[in-house]
Amino acid sequence: MSRKFILTPEQELPVSSLTIPYQEELNEAQLEVVTSGPGPLLVVAGAGTGKTRTLIYRLAYLVETGVAPEHIVLLTFTRRSANEMLNRATGLLDGRCKRVRGGTFHAFCLTLLKKHASKLGYPDNFTLLDSSDSADVIDVIRTSSSVKTGGKRFPRKGTLQSIFSAVRNRGVSIASILESGYSQFADFEADIERLFGSYARYKKHHGLMDYDDLLILTLQLFKQEPDILKQEASLCRHVLVDEYQDTNAAQALIVKALSSVHGNVMVVGDDAQSIYRFRGADFTNILEFPTQFAGASVLKLEHNYRSSQKILNLANSLLEQATRKHDKQLFTLREGGELPGLVPAPDDRFESRFVSQLILQFREQGIGLHEMAVLFRNGHNSFDLEMELNRKNIPFLKYGGLKLAEAAHIKDVVAYLKVIENPRDAVAWNRILLLLEGVGPKTAGKIIEWLDGHSDGPFEVQERPFSGAYIESLTALFAMLRSVKKGNQTPSGQLESIIAFYGPILQRVYYEDYPKREQDLEHLIGLGTSYSNRSSLLESIALDPIELTAIDTEPTESDEPPLTLSTIHSAKGLEFKVVFIIQALDGVIPSSYSVGDQESLEEERRLLYVAVTRAADYLFLSYPMLQFRRYDGQYFTMPSRFLEHLPPEILEPCSLVEQQPNALNAAEKQSLLPPSTKQ
Partner DNA sequence: ACAAGCAGTTTTTTT
Partner DNA sequence: AACTGCTTGT
Residues that bind DNA (CB under 7 A): 77-78, 104-107, 130-132, 139, 156-157, 211, 275-276, 278-279, 377-380, 400-401, 407-408, 437-444, 543, 545-546, 567, 569-570, 591, 593-594, 600, 630
- Taking the least distance from each CB to DNA, the nearer of 438 and 526 is 438
CA 591 to CA 588: how far, in whole Å?
Answer: 4
Exposed, middle or buried by CB within 10 Å (0-12, 13-18, 19+), for 14?
exposed
- Taking the least distance from each CB to DNA, the nearer of 134 and 264 is 134
Helix or strand holding residue 608 (H, E): helix 598-612
- Taking the least distance from each CB to DNA, the nearer of 328 and 409 is 409
Of 60, 74, 78, 61, the residue nearest 102 (C-alpha): 74
Pairing relationship of beta strands 41-45 and 297-301 according to DSSP bridges: parallel
Helix (H, G, I), strand (E, B) or coil at 424: coil
> What one-character DSSP code corresponds to residue 532?
S
What's CA 110's distance to the chain center, in Å?
Answer: 17
- Taking the least distance from each CB to DNA, the nearer of 41 and 448 is 448
Alpha helix ranges (H) inside 117-225: 131-144, 157-170, 174-181, 189-206, 211-224
- Taking the least distance from each CB to DNA, the nearer of 133 and 271 is 133
- Taking the least distance from each CB to DNA, the nearer of 279 and 349 is 279
CA 490 to CA 552: how far, in whole Å?
Answer: 26
Closest contact distance (angstroms) between CB of 440 and DNA is 2
Of 653, 663, 659, the residue nearest 672 (C-alpha): 659
What's CA 246's distance to the chain center, in Å?
Answer: 11
Residues 6+ apart with CB under 8 A from 414: 405, 428, 538, 541
User: Which residues on neighbouring strands pair with residue 75, listed in sequence order?
Assistant: 103, 241
Closest contact distance (angstroms) between CB of 435 and DNA is 9
Closest contact distance (angstroms) between CB of 526 and DNA is 21
- Taking the least distance from each CB to DNA, the nearer of 78 and 356 is 78
Pairing relationship of beta strands 626-629 and 633-636 according to DSSP bridges: antiparallel
Amino acid at 274: S
- Taking the least distance from each CB to DNA, the nearer of 225 and 406 is 406
Closest contact distance (angstroms) between CB of 104 and DNA is 4
Closest contact distance (angstroms) between CB of 44 and DNA is 23
- Taking the least distance from each CB to DNA, the nearer of 131 and 260 is 131
Closest contact distance (angstroms) between CB of 309 and DNA is 29
- Taking the least distance from each CB to DNA, the nearer of 120 and 147 is 147
Closest contact distance (angstroms) between CB of 302 and DNA is 27
Closest contact distance (angstroms) between CB of 557 and DNA is 24
Evaluate whether 173 touches 196 at the Cβ level (below 8 Å): no
Closest contact distance (angstroms) between CB of 443 and DNA is 3
- Taking the least distance from each CB to DNA, the nearer of 407 and 664 is 407
CA 317 to CA 648: how far, in whole Å?
Answer: 12
Give me the count of residues in the chain: 679
Of 123, 114, 126, 119, the residue nearest 224 (C-alpha): 119
What's CA 667's distance to the chain center, in Å?
Answer: 41
> What one-character DSSP code corresponds to residue 283?
T
Closest contact distance (angstroms) between CB of 310 and DNA is 28
Amino acid at 539: E
Closest contact distance (angstroms) between CB of 255 and DNA is 15
Closest contact distance (angstroms) between CB of 80 and DNA is 8
Our CA angle for 425, 426, 432, nearest 5°, is 100
- Taking the least distance from each CB to DNA, the nearer of 78 and 264 is 78
Evaluate whether 538 touches 417 at the Cβ level (below 8 Å): yes
Closest contact distance (angstroms) between CB of 102 and DNA is 13
Alpha helix ranges (H) inside 293-401: 309-320, 348-364, 383-391
Evaluate whether 313 touches 329 at the Cβ level (below 8 Å): no
Our CA angle for 91, 97, 98, nearest 5°, is 95
Amino acid at 482: R
- Taking the least distance from each CB to DNA, the nearer of 138 and 221 is 138
Helix (H, G, I), strand (E, B) or coil at 632: coil
Closest contact distance (angstroms) between CB of 144 and DNA is 12
- Taking the least distance from each CB to DNA, the nearer of 115 and 380 is 380
Alpha helix ranges (H) inside 301-347: 309-320
CA 141 to CA 662: how far, in whole Å?
Answer: 66
Closest contact distance (angstroms) between CB of 278 and DNA is 4
User: Which residues on neighbouring strands pair with residue 209, listed in sequence order?
Assistant: 128
CA 386 to CA 397: how far, in whole Å?
Answer: 10
User: Which residues on neighbouring strands pair with residue 546, listed in sequence order?
Assistant: none
Closest contact distance (angstroms) between CB of 408 and DNA is 4
Q: What share of the chain is helix, strand, coil (3-state, %, to 5)?
A: 50, 15, 35
CA 664 to CA 674: how far, in whole Å?
Answer: 14
Cα torsion 451, 452, 454, 456 to 10°: value is 120
- Taking the least distance from each CB to DNA, the nearer of 438 and 457 is 438
Closest contact distance (angstroms) between CB of 245 and DNA is 15
